[in-house]
Amino acid sequence: EPEVTQTPSHQVTQMGQEVILRCVPISNHLYFYWYRQILGQKVEFLVSFYNNEISEKSEIFDDQFSVERPDGSNFTLKIRSTKLEDSAMYFCASSVPPRQGFWNGELFFGEGSRLTVL
């Protein structure tokens, strides 16, 4: 069964360092997402990406964050200068486009990348 894969599964970094989290979405999906979950809190939307550009982003997704689809298969989230509060589980997800304006299917989530900022 096709799945979204994420690497690394866990990364520990020093505050101020750059981090790149990688995702391989399901191959025929066209929408890609990053969500995050701070320990014990809700899953929060960060950004959606379609047709090689950001389609929507949340307040959390400030200038420190960027996304890229560098080679047609990988989808990356870069945090330019990590802060302590960036420590969280980061989930990549992908989905097929809507049909006739309706989203009929689910988001397919990866297993997550746990980021620990020290």
Residues in contact with another protein by CB under 8 A are: 4, 31, 33, 35, 41-45, 48, 50, 55-56, 58, 91, 93, 95, 101-112
For another protein, the closer CB: 14 or 104: 104
For another protein, the closer CB: 1 or 63: 1
For another protein, the closer CB: 14 or 102: 102
Running DSSP on this structure, what letter comes out for residue 107? P
Contacts for 39-48: CB closer than 8 Å, 24+ residues apart: 39/87, 39/88, 39/89, 43/91, 46/77, 46/90, 47/77
